[in-house]
Amino acid sequence: MRIKKVSAKFILLIFLFSIFPSLHAKKLYLNRKNNIVIEDTSKPFSSYTWLVAHNAYSNDNIFSNQYGLPVSELLKYGVRGLMLDLYDYENSIYLCHKSCYFSNYGKFFETVSYSVIPFLRNNPREVVTIFLEDHSSRSMLEQELAKIQGLEEFLFNPSVWAEYKQWPSLEELIQKNQRLVIITDNKRNSGYYEINGKEIHLIFGPDLTVENYWSLGDTYLSHNYACVSRWPEIPLSTKKSSYFYNQWERLVVMNQFHGIPFYPHSTSDNKFKALFTREQKYCLPETEKMPNYVAVDNVTSGDAKEYVQWLNSGGILFYKDLTFDTENLICGFSIVESGSSDLNKFRCDQPIRSIKINRLKEGTIIRIFDKSYKFQNSEYVELTMKKDMSDTEEFKIDLENYNFENSYYKYIYYGKKLDKKTFQKIEVIVSYAQEKKL
């Protein structure tokens, strides 16, 4: 029976590859020039969301989890979480998927030493989390950890924060240089080690996180959005960590990927609307807080980085009607920098009736143009923020109300006969003061 199942999967993969013969040469498109922007580093670490690359080591073909991007490039792109699978192999620990004989992606210590540590050295205000699916032995792991030069310099150690009743702030982690968090799912390999004469600590995931079961289904033909705990004994609603971690707020990991990775379909899994729907409709009712980590396959495919930025800083959502529910969401994106863009870039390809805004800053101006977007003579609507919105405030705006003003914003229609079915261009102007702060 197992042989038949494997054969069926193999046939499916060959079929998919035959449909997309040129994808091995596909040029990856990076959605934004900049990394994810964190505007305020004073909040507890548990208040932020980070982009995570599932099976970050797997990048050699379109059926890999991160097609075309080695770990060093993932970090440059804005990924701040790496999921790695560890196996004892040939007197070392290798990054493998299921079997090191068939899928060997090199040694664990080399990936950390030559990609992660240099990134932290060159980017002194960045924090990286490594999630280990850990099939290694403790003795072998200790041996390999000792080979990572500089590990103890960056690794998060809870004993440093023993007096804290909640997570230290992001800024405190930066100032203390505790900018590498390693979380293992292997209890035997968690806890303290003495490496090169210094104490280091690996976190046991079930003690400090909640995580949904990862699979949307084996293939792209299924999409099971149900949000259930990876660990049945730890409900997603569990708020506090174990006593060892002072019952700090648990970190929420939201997984969004299929059992069999396939680069073209990651565009669908990683759409803003797909991530928004999974989080808002299915996971948020269980966790009652936004995710701290969003883990996906093929991070450059779709809108995962845009969604993480929106969770961190807010932005604008576009809807088909005035119900403002997940079914009628068209698209969304963050507002953190000045610029202009074709709305189709964000998959805003349906008639727009309304928008929802959150966490926008004073001085931000948003202009939405019709299809004849020559800025001098186009029909457009303009939204100007008069003061900062708080983290919890949001406003719903009917685009058919051509002129409206309150204490937070002013909304004006410019033109004669704007056809909202043809909205096609957006221009964002972030105030000088806001840009300077970023």
pLDDT tens column, 417-438: 655 556 777 888 886 444 444 4
State the pLDDT at residue 8: 52
- Average pLDDT on 277-294 reads 98
* Average pLDDT value for residue range 112-127: 98
- Domains in the chain and their CATH numbers? 31-313 (3.20.20.190), 317-437 (no CATH)
The band of 4, judged by pLDDT with boundaries at 50, 70 and 90, is very low
* Closest to 276 in 3D by CA, of 309, 232, 229, 228: 309
Predicted confidence at residue 96, as pLDDT, reads: 96
Q: Where are the beta strands (DSSP E) in 311-386?
A: 315-319, 329-334, 339-342, 354-358, 365-369, 380-385
Would you mind telling me the total number of residues written for the chain in this entry?
Answer: 438
H helix intervals, 132-236: 138-145, 151-154, 170-175, 205-208
Mean pLDDT of 10-24: 43
- Over residues 15-35, the mean pLDDT reads 42
Average pLDDT over residues 224-246: 96
**pLDDT > 70? residue 1:** no
Q: What is the pLDDT of residue 401?
A: 81
pLDDT the model gives residue 337 = 83
Indicate whether 25 pLDDT > 50.
no
The H or E element that residue 277 is part of is helix 272-277
pLDDT in tens, 153-206: 999 999 999 999 999 999 999 999 999 999 999 999 999 999 989 999 999 999
Residue 28 has pLDDT above 50, yes or no: no
| Cα 133 versus chain centre, distance | 19
Mean pLDDT of 3-30: 41
Q: Which of 223, 278, 348, 290 is nearest to 50 (CA)?
A: 290
How confident is residue 375, by pLDDT bands cut at 50, 70 and 90? Answer: low
In this prediction, residue 421 carries a pLDDT of 54
Residue from 76, 60, 80 nearest 68 by CA? 60
243-256 pLDDT tens trace: 999 999 999 999 99
pLDDT level of residue 264 (50, 70, 90 thresholds): confident
Q: CA–CA distance from 21 to each of 9, 42, 107 (Å)?
A: 18, 49, 31
Q: Point out the least confidently predicted range of 53-62, 224-233, 261-270, 417-426.
A: 417-426
CB-side neighbour CA atoms (13 Å) of 405: 5
Least confident of 50-54, 124-128, 237-241, 368-372: 368-372
CA-angle at 52, arms to 270 and 72, nearest 5°:
110
| pTM for this prediction | 0.90
- pLDDT for 188: 98
Which contiguous run of DSSP H or E holds residue 35?
Answer: none
The H or E element spanning position 19 is helix 2-19
| 302-340: pLDDT as tens digits | 999 999 999 999 999 999 999 999 999 999 999 988 888
Contact in structure between 212 and 228 (CB atoms under 8 Å): yes
Question: 178 to each of 5, 285, 348, how far by Cα in Å?
Answer: 45, 32, 40
The phi-psi region of residue 432 (left if phi > 0; otherwise alpha if psi is between -120 and 50; otherwise beta) is alpha
How far apart CA 363 and CA 355 sit, in angstroms, is 19
Q: What angle do CA 191, 251, 200 make, to 5 degrees?
A: 25
Q: Work out the mean pLDDT of the chain and round it to a whole number.
A: 88
Lowest mean pLDDT among 11-25, 84-98, 160-174, 401-415: 11-25
Amino acid at position 228, single letter: V
Residue of higher predicted confidence among 341 and 80 = 80
CB 353 within 8 A of CB 321: yes
Q: What is the mean predicted confidence (pLDDT) over 408-415?
A: 90
- Listed residue (33, 45, 125, 41) closest to 76, CA to CA: 33
Mean pLDDT of 1-25: 42
